[in-house]
Structure 1
């Protein structure tokens, strides 16, 4: 496998990373760059938390990606960005830390496998060398000087307290050549041997790393939050620390979350199977039988799709058995296996046991070329006890069965992560194959659903506000008891029943007492919250007469059925919200006309000839190169005159240290121009056009006073950045002209259409706000929104925007609007946009207006703009107006300012 197409959220995350690295050099410090980047991208400036024991402005940040989001691929892809945009060097040392030896071996295999997407992503860096810690203990200086060196190790390997790992800090003859001809600055930075009288720096791997200033990638970073772990990292003088985790620490030692991916985004991008459909059953044999039945249904659906061309799929059940205990009968793996074979006639070869006693997984991997995914593999059930092997992936896992009532948090989190992943990261035609399933031996559905949601938050990295939608009941009668899953949308009418005797409420658990009340004057018992069947039995035991017990049973049944009214959002009730999108009319090869979604201005036909533009550095380019040289030579001012604050020297010192060890080759102008061309990712240009422009630009630079080949070679990364920015701006100008002609020129209808052929759809579970509106804490105000399409509402950017939403919801309550959505920004798959020449316009609100039985009503897009931003929003008004004008009445658009709701009013009729 050599090709891999990144998902939208993955591309967006990498764009965030590139933006932050570039801001680290543009801003006074990486900490200010972090705040500026989060403000620009997410509309909210986040505080930067430095790590104790590290330089306060060392780039330290976290990428939050839930289970199934492809963290390892993202880490491999980011290495090229680290070199190019942060370190600004051709080669570097990447210290890739993982939580365990199995994960280390898995990561090493993938990064070394030339057919694996991880290797392909890493190879974009240029020459690479991937090694484990033992190999690194004898690495050569030439390897470091000619390739980006990735050292994959466990975090424990660098802890000096571990006797086996002390070799990392001890002298080695194989590493002595790394310490020849060191400058005083370099020698002063080395660790010393405290046992010797002269405190001599050992020729150790740790000191090699200190010289090379490694960039550290911490995988599963939530497992490494101890003071000891941070002390270990500080000892290596890293150039930066990037954490990847689904569950970052936000309290004790807060991670700086630069970019957060939501589970809804993964769902929208077909990476995970949601919702988790939960069913509880107190009888373990019946629970297992129900799971077997569901697997057979899924298998039939998969076979039907396979016959029509879909990829092969064999749904697998993961069963969490109970551990064996001496003298106690438990539902251990052997008993579960016998139940499958004896009572359900499952062939023994279809059952795999993966525990400390039996290692069936290893046998399958060795016998079948594709492991469990091999069509010849018969395995349909996997029984485990605690946790499966770390890093092991089961592409066909669909159903989790827990015999232990979700008591083992670690095992449940791990197994749940297995069943969430979507095989081949591609949706199936059958809705049932896009969901996960959990069968749990339990009497309490609501409690079990709550525990499962907790596991999704704590282990899979879901947001608390998401999980209520992502755990649903397989049986409607159980779903009615899931009040937490319908929080804020459940109304219960109290159920009162007269009794012939006073119940002994002191004899029932407090949880049940809190749900009922007794009126002694009227001899009436009132149930104020739904009672489950087992709770009903306990309450019935509080009375002696059969008639009173029967009355309690009837009232309790009513409390969990007809007395409950659960409000469903339009999305939950199955409403469709599809919006026509802008499309270009294009001519196909056979001469026919086709419509193509307009989501990228690069598809426009535009005149783009780089040779027509002046190939010479501008005054700004010369100033930037001069300022960078001054910084590298130590000429930076230490105090900002405007603010009086100290200016960070972390990056200048880092550039100095890297310059001491990564000596640039003495290239001539031709080789330097070749390198610049190779590192300019501009796909719209031919190599000849790019080379001609770069050669002319470089020639002009070298003729200026103070510039020579040595300096140009030293500043080649900054030169590349300046040339790239110039070419990008020239191309944007050309695209802007083509955009203006295509969309706003004469006879636009012949080139552009508003099409229902490929509409944008607000999917039921693909709404992923980066911030939620919470009426309890919102600074804008509190309002009970009743007509929003989803249960969640993306937060508002201003009080005026909030008031606009309130006005729309009031109109919806009057019947003038069916429902509306707070549209999101930069959320691929869950936000509607209109493409512009230089970006995308995301209207604040999308409303569905009333229609007829035969045809849905029109869509109204509403954008609120503050008066201070009105003039700058002219292009938004133009593209919104064009979308409405070309829609033949199906779409309407209005931009509002100064609370002029009367501008919206005529469009609702």
Structure 2
């Protein structure tokens, strides 16, 4: 099994989860922790929405990940974080809820398969047991005590209204031993049956879960957001709920979205194929023929790359046929299949049918080891009617052909999701293999493009603000009618027609009537929006003379051609935007400097002073008081401090009592749970053992207490080691990058550049005009990331004005913590993301210099010294190819000094 390396955005999701869990304990309130964490991560603290029927301070959050982003892998990877940073226990019960039986079967199979990446990351939590609901009905206490137990079930399984699922709440002799030797508080927490003297406590799985305080993972949560579904979860006393979905509920019962991944981030890391190249054709046979031709062209490109060493790829077509109707001729499965075989000569073995009656995909899975992806499999066309089986996945799917109405939302969403996933999550040499394709039987490209974008938002989880550019016209002439796709960057010049008769507009359908206006005094019909050929034909029926009809047809042609003027961004015009990066010479070879670990620095942790500080001892004492039930009930602001986490820790302490380890075993456990790749094990063990020995010499700190608080001790040691490492790296950073012979060890070279991808710009927030309005004409992208202050906005306006004068070719609002979409300079203790990157004019056929601009408020000027140093170093090592300026107090002249001169006067 090869190791699965997380994508950058996936690691950032996991970092956000860890930050939230740590903040829950730091602030003792998961609700406050949510707002504080989102403020720290995104610069905008979000309000916490508690779930009705649950404790107000139960950790409850959502990860928004679009289709193709790897939600299941993220869920599996997060289990270790739940145990270590939230529950602070070695073992736990994870209740993993999925929307359907098909998804449940696939999830269980993958989580149990020791060769699967899902199982590999689950094992990071230690011993793992994966059960379905039937297996959980007889789970032993020993299993729960010695492993993290993942129970995979459908969300319906715990609803008492479901007759099949009532066994969850019924007594079972196999579970009786779980209820021996319970404390009074544990017994009080159990569900009971009956009243008065007839009242009994069932030995049920539901009560076992109530004792164990399961953490709940809700996969595809958008399918689960009903009051009934969440009411049933409250009966299990969960320790927390994590949702993963492409489309969170933001209105009725709002989800607490901790981290939102954008489609542009997935595109930047080659997880999905974008844009979707759309082509509409009214004739269904021609539409199908065009799709076949496209598949053949893609297959030739794939074969060329395969011969050059790329992985095997066989592009496939998914065809959505129409359902059969009695007495009505439709484009049903049989008719489509006959068209493929009879008129296009497609061999029957290359076609598979997947409908409710015909399960062709199941036979493919049985006949070929890798299913449809197997090189021996001949299938190139999959015909379905409504939707493929839930969970079915084949990255070889490239082309969607819809012969049915796009308003069939569920089917289109599912099929569109199938063609988005990028084979192997890699970028192909041929750009055509990095895109998806949709061929739709339709007369209106604009309406079809809008419907397809709606499906990407509603089903695939794309954001409305980014989806416009992710559906593009395969034919330029069709793209001219896609005004939504050029929203804000298109100018339409009304077309006036002099007519010798008054048109009868009342007889014209409203959608067409809304695109024209009649001036009776001037006898002029004005077209105010582009008219398609079909709409022009409809409008011609409003007049009687052939002359008037001909004039309308001619004007309509103008309305959809020369009357439309598009403004295209530099990215759309194909301009490449590359920024040289800092590189470091390591053992004679240049490597990109994007991680301080590439620095060669001596660091012997064992030689560092190793004993708990007074602050660390105070933290341990405070935590013990909380665990024993003593705490301050009201904080300094008069707010009641949450009891949820202390009660949770006590409940978990009763069912997962710490083992009586000796000092050596405890030190080994701490080392194993302190990931620090820069350290050798012996050095780490010596430091940890010395720290632990010093702790145990303190009055009141017994080995039993150290066992009880080992997760908190782990956290304290992690903070201490990271601080010591930061100090060591800081010294090496200063010596290597700013020492006397820095020129020999650091370089800015074209060998390593960051490139702004034309379709991979993913701001966490777009600029919404809050600081003022400006018509930005030279920003590299159509979207602009939000500004942190009005001064930053004014700086951007100044850059764009200089660009319109020709002193800057184009510029971009650089993003923060969006590594796939943003340029950064590595520092010893973090990364510096300049606010703006500008491409200056260059000589003929040569790109001009890059100018990085950072705006700093006067109150933050001193704190930004390190940013100025690394920016200045980057510029000084570039041989004039890069320039850097940090501005304060609106000193725009500091920027202007770096720009070429022009003869035109400056704009005010």
TM-score (norm 2): 0.98
What is the CA-CA distance between 1:747 and the residue it aligns to? 2.1
Aligned to 2:761: 767
> For residue 39 of structure 1, what is the aligned residue in structure 2?
39
SS in structure 2 of the partner of residue 583 of structure 1: strand
Q: Is the 8 A contact 1:832 1:842 kept in 2?
A: yes
CA distance in 1, matches of 2:80, 2:215: 12
Alpha-carbon distance between aligned partners in 1 of 2:780 and 2:305, rounded to the nearest angstrom? 32
Q: Deviation at 1:297?
A: 0.4
Aligned ranges 1:425-440 → 2 under 5 Å = 425-440=425-440
Residue of structure 1 in register with 2:303 after alignment: 303
Match of residue 83 from structure 1: 83
- Distance (Å, rounded) in 2 between the aligned partners of 1:572 and 1:771: 21
**What's 1:645 paired with?**
639
Q: Could you give the per-residue CA deviations for residues 179-230 of structure 1, whole angstroms, max 9, x where no partner exists?
A: 0011011011111113673422211000000000000000000111111111
Q: What residue in structure 2 maps to residue 385 of structure 1? A: 385
Q: Distance in 1 between matches of 2:523 and 2:687?
A: 93
2:67 is the counterpart of 1:67: yes
Of 832, 837, 854, the match for 1:841: 832
Aligned-partner Cα distance in 1 for 2:521–2:125: 81
8 Å Cα contact 2:28/2:645 also seen in 1: no
Asked if structure 2 preserves the Cα contact closer than 8 Å seen for 1:318 and 1:382, the reply is: yes
1:335 is paired with a residue of what secondary structure?
helix
> What is aligned with 2:601?
606
Counterpart of 1:631 in structure 2 is 626
Q: Give matches, 1:435-450, under 5 Å.
A: 435-450=435-450
Secondary structure of the equivalent of 1:884?
helix
Q: Which residue of 2 aligns with 1:334?
A: 334
Give, in whole Å, the separation in 2 of the partners of 1:343 and 1:828: 49
Matching of residue 732 in structure 1 with residue 726 in structure 2: yes
1:346-389, Cα deviation, whole Å (9 max, x unpaired): 11111100001100000000001110011111111000011111
Query: Counterparts of 1:635-674 in structure 2 under 5 Å?
Result: 635-640=630-635, 642-674=636-668
User: Secondary structure of the residue that 2:570 maps to in structure 1?
Assistant: coil
Paired position in structure 2 for 1:686: 680
Q: Hey, what's the Cα distance between the residues in 2 that align with 1:212 and 1:159?
A: 19
1:908 alignment partner, one of 891, 899, 908: 899
Is residue 2:404 matched to residue 1:404?
yes
Verify the 8 A CA contact 2:314 2:380 in the aligned structure 1: yes
Report the CA distance between 1:67 and its aligned residue.
0.2
| Equivalent pair of 1:405/1:448 in contact (CA under 8 Å) | no
CA deviation after TM superposition for structure 1 residue 499, in Å? 2.3
Whether 1:707 and 2:701 are equivalent positions in the alignment is: yes
1:896 is matched with which residue: 887, 903, 906?
887
**1:698 and 2:692 equivalent?**
yes
Residue aligning to 1:590: none
Counterpart CA distance in 1 for 2:493 and 2:658 is: 77
Deviates more, 1:545-554 or 1:286-295: 545-554
| 1:96 positional shift | 0.3
Alignment of 1:114-129 (within 5 A): 114-129=114-129
Q: Tell whether the 8 Å contact from 2:65 to 2:461 is kept in structure 1 after alignment.
A: yes
Query: 2:611 matched to which residue of 1?
Result: 616
Output the CA distance in 2 between the equivalents of 1:404 and 1:469.
Answer: 24
Counterpart CA distance in 2 for 1:196 and 1:858 is 83
> Which residue number in structure 2 is paired with residue 802 of structure 1?
793
Give the superposition deviation at 1:480.
Answer: 0.2
Partner of residue 187, structure 1: 187
Identify which range, 488-497 or 462-471, moves more after superposition.
Answer: 488-497
Q: 1:860 aligns with which of 851, 857, 863?
A: 851
1:230-245 correspondence to structure 2 within 5 Å:
230-245=230-245
Deviation, 1:519, is 2.6
- SS of match in other structure, 1:904: helix
2: distance between equivalents of 1:522 and 1:200? 89
The answer as to whether partners of 1:125 and 1:148 remain within 8 angstroms in 2 is: yes
Unaligned runs of 5+ in 1: 588-592
Could you tell me how far apart the structure 2 residues matched to 1:106 and 1:567 are? 47
C-alpha distance in 2 between matches for 1:161 and 1:766 = 46
Q: Over residues 861-894 of structure 1, what are the superposed CA-to-partner deviations in whole Å (9 max), with x where a residue is unaligned? A: 1111111111111101110111111111111111
Q: Is residue 2–residue 116 contact of structure 1 (8 Å, CA) maintained in 2? A: no
**Alpha-carbon separation, structure 1, partners of 2:477 and 2:504:** 28
Structure 1 counterpart SS, 2:898: helix
CA contact (8 A) 2:322 2:332 kept: yes
Residues 407 and 451 of structure 2 are in contact (CA less than 8 Å); yes or no, is this contact kept in structure 1? no
Q: Is the 8 A contact 1:130 1:150 kept in 2?
A: yes
SS at match of 2:699: coil
TM-superposed CA distance for 1:806, in Å, is 1.2
**Quick one: distance in 1 between partners of 2:424 and 2:842?**
39
Distance 2:405 2:101 in 1: 30
- Matched with 2:464 is 464
**Which secondary structure does the structure 2 equivalent of 1:712 belong to?**
helix
| 2:875 alignment partner in structure 1 | 884
Deviation at 1:690, TM superposition (A): 1.4
- The C-alpha deviation readout for 1:793-821, integer Å capped at 9, x for no partner, is 00111111111111111111222111111
Q: Aligned with 1:247: secondary structure?
A: coil
* Partner Cα separation in structure 1 for residue 401 and residue 733 of structure 2: 55
Q: How far is the alpha carbon of 1:594 from its aligned partner?
A: 2.8
CA distance in 2, matches of 1:594, 1:735: 20
CA RMSD of aligned residues (A): 1.0
3-state DSSP class of the match of 2:97?
A: strand
Give the structure-1-normalised TM-score: 0.98
Q: Deviations over 1:255-287 (max 9, x none)?
A: 000000000000000000000000001111110
- Distance of 1:176 and 1:124 partners within structure 2: 31
Quote the Cα distance in structure 2 between the aligned partners of 1:381 and 1:801: 52
Note the C-alpha offset of 1:673: 1.1
Q: What corresponds to 2:529 in structure 1?
A: 529
> Alpha-carbon deviation of 1:476?
0.8
Supply the distance in 2 between the matched residues of 1:32 and 1:240 (Cα, whole angstroms): 15
Cα distance in 2 for residues equivalent to 1:879 and 1:32? 36
Tell me the residue number matched to 2:710.
716
Render the CA deviation track for 1:97-126: whole Å, top value 9, x for unaligned.
Answer: 000000000000000111100000101000
- In structure 2, the residue matched to 1:414 is 414
Name the SS for the 2:201 alignment partner. coil
| Cα deviation code 1:404-426 (max 9, x no counterpart) | 13121000000000000000111
Give the 3 Å change call, closer, same or farther, for CA 373–196 of structure 1 in structure 2: farther
User: 1:155 is matched with which residue?
Assistant: 155
Q: Counterparts in 2 of 1:122-521, with a 5 A limit?
A: 122-194=122-194, 197-521=197-521
